[in-house]
């Protein structure tokens, strides 16, 4: 990938720039908890974005995406926003950096990636983090890593229409080889957990479906949570996020909220606790509990939060039938992947069964990605 980028960069710009990279992510457990101030448990993966960048001394960005095979130029002011969605991510990162007082100028860039798009592995966070990290480095801005993650998140909010939480950008910036990271999204305290489950493998099965309107459905889930939080806060003013609410407090406001909002909140309150339970179980080496919690999350995401879909429920069922230790839909939902914790001895038969039965039902095989937990944003030599 790097040599392909370098070749294109020379052809386009006649010089060599510097290389930066960042990663997509997995999340073992803790879904839709981040914007509720709860816990998440992600890690960066060995699939990501690589960009070659060189400052060009102008106030223009000249960017080429190898994967889309498209060249775009844009200025750094608000009215210069490009229309191409891939370029909006880079533009958004520039704008959010400027909003934070970062003095930046134009640059030339060529980039490529291998995070499957729409798989729920945060290809967009990988792109944002690569550029946030690179601008910080190249312009010597001294922005701290948390703020770099927030630059990516704000890009989603203000330039891409997704009111996402901080998990993806955090994992993409803070990712460390061989480690998952438990993050408290309220306090931003985090802890690395070495993850090397002996006798097990983590594998993603990508349904290769992406349902339309995923981002508006995502934003609606967030609004549900905010409504319930506001209702609970009337009785318990200390509740800043849904994460702060006790299960009983939800019951107190049942009459004031819709059944749908109530189900959404029930899922979130349970999910926040599940992350803590999984971290405890991991420290004991108790993978059976880890797996059981993953199944519980799937159930909640499917029946209460309603962000699963037929294809993902199917993959989850196959996992259950094959005796897979844990399986659930990963990421925002509405398509994408399941993440599966599988014992070595049944790995091959599970993958074979999942591929064959999925193909029989949906006409194509799911894609299979073995998870390798890797480093996040960095400069390459």
Residue 179 has which token pair?
């480690």
Q: Is 168 a catalytic residue?
A: yes
Least gap, CB of 213 to ligand GLA (angstroms): 15
Cα separation, 124 vs 129, in Å, equals 9
Q: Is 128 in the site for ligand GLA (CB under 6 A)?
A: no
User: Counting contacts by CB under 6 A, is residue 34 touching ligand GLA?
Assistant: yes
> Applying CB under 6 A, which of residues 28, 29, 31, 118 lies at the interface with ligand GLA?
31
Q: Does the protein bind ligand GLA through residue 267 (CB under 6 A)?
A: no
**Residue window 313-342: x/- pattern of binding to ligand GLA, with contact defined by CB under 6 A:** ------------------xx----------
Q: How many residues does the chain have?
A: 381
* Closer CB to ligand GLA, 34 or 311, in the complex: 34
Q: Which of residues 190-249 bind ligand GLA (CB under 6 A)?
A: none
**Nearer to ligand GLA (CB atom), residue 92 or residue 332:** 332
Q: Do 368 and 204 meet the contact criterion of CB atoms below 8 Å apart?
A: yes
Shortest separation between residue 32's beta carbon and ligand GLA, angstroms: 5
Cβ at position 254, least distance to ligand GLA in Å: 25
Per CB under 6 A, the segment of 5-13, 162-170, 223-231, 361-369 that binds ligand GLA is: 162-170
**Integer Cα distance of 191 and 40 in angstroms:** 11
Stretch that binds ligand GLA, among 78-86, 138-146, 164-172, 283-291 (CB under 6 A): 164-172
Nearer to ligand GLA, 147 or 168 (CB): 168
Cβ 337 to ligand GLA shortest distance, Å = 11
What is the rounded CA–CA span in Å between residue 2 and residue 16?
Answer: 12
- 167 binds ligand GLA, rule: CB under 6 A: yes
> Which C-beta is closer to ligand GLA: that of 35 or that of 314?
35
168 scored as a contact of ligand GLA (CB under 6 A): yes
Tell me which of 34, 168, 206, 375 is the catalytic residue.
Answer: 168
Rounded to 10 deg, the angle between the 259-284 and 214-235 helix axes is 90
**Which is nearer to ligand GLA, 90 or 171 (by Cβ)?**
171
Closest CA to 206 of 366, 315, 334: 366
**In the complex, least distance from residue 310 CB atom to ligand GLA, rounded to whole angstroms:** 20
> Applying CB under 6 A, does 32 fall inside the site for ligand GLA?
yes
Task: Annotate 225-247 with b (16+ C-beta within 10 A) or e (fewer).
Answer: bbbbbebbbeeeeebebbbbbee
Residue 301 structure tokens: 């995401």
Q: How far is the CB of 218 from ligand GLA (least distance, A)?
A: 7
- Which of these ranges, 32-40, 83-91, 227-235, 364-372, lies near ligand GLA under the rule CB under 6 A? 32-40
Q: Which is nearer to ligand GLA, 29 or 62 (CB)?
A: 29
Name residues whose C-beta falls within 8 Å of residue 299's C-beta, 6 or more positions apart in sequence. none
Contacting ligand GLA (CB under 6 A), which of 164, 203, 214, 268? 164
Q: Is 37 in the site for ligand GLA (CB under 6 A)?
A: no
**Which residue from 342, 334, 267, 262 is spatially nearest to 297, judged by alpha carbons?**
267
* Residue count, binding to ligand GLA (CB under 6 A): 11
What are the catalytic residues? 168
Give residues in contact with ligand GLA (CB under 6 A): 31-32, 34-35, 122, 164-165, 167-168, 331-332
């Amino acid at each position: 990938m790097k040599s392909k980028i370098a070749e294109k960069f020379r052809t386009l710009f006649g010089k060599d720039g510097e290389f930066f990279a960042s990663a997509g992510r997995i999340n073992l457990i803790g879904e839709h908890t981040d914007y509720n101030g709860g816990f998440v448990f992600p890690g960066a993966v060995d699939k990501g974005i690589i960009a070659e960048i060189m400052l060009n001394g102008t106030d223009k960005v000249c960017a080429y995406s190898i994967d889309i095979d498209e060249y775009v130029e844009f200025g750094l002011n608000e009215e210069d926003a490009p229309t191409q969605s891939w370029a909006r991510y880079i533009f958004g990162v520039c704008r959010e950096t400027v909003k934070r007082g970062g003095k930046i100028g134009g640059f030339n860039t060529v980039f490529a990636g291998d995070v499957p798009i729409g798989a729920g592995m945060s290809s967009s966070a990988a792109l944002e983090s690569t550029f946030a990290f690179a601008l910080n480095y190249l312009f010597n801005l001294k922005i701290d890593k948390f703020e770099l993650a927030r630059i990516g998140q704000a890009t989603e909010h203000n330039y891409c229409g997704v009111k996402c939480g901080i998990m993806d950008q955090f994992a993409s910036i803070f990712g460390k080889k061989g480690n998952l990271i438990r993050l408290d999204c309220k306090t931003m305290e985090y802890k690395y957990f070495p993850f090397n489950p002996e006798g097990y493998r983590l594998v993603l099965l990508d349904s290769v479906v992406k349902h339309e309107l995923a981002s508006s459905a995502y934003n609606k889930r967030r609004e549900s949570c905010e409504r319930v939080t506001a209702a609970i806060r009337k009785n318990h003013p200390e509740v800043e996020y849904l994460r702060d609410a006790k299960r009983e407090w939800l019951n107190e406001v049942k009459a004031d909220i819709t059944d749908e909002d109530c189900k959404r909140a029930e899922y979130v309150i349970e999910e926040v606790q599940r992350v803590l339970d999984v971290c405890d179980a991991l420290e004991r080496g108790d993978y059976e509990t880890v797996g059981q919690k993953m199944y519980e999350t799937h159930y909640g995401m499917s029946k209460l939060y309603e962000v699963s879909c037929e294809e993902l429920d199917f993959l989850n069922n196959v996992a259950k039938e094959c005796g897979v230790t844990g399986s659930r839909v990963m990421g925002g939902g509405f398509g994408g992947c399941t993440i599966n914790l599988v014992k070595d001895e049944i790995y091959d038969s599970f993958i074979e069964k999942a591929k064959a039965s999925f193909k029989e039902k949906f006409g194509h095989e799911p894609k299979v990605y073995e998870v390798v937990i890797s480093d996040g944003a960095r400069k390459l030599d």
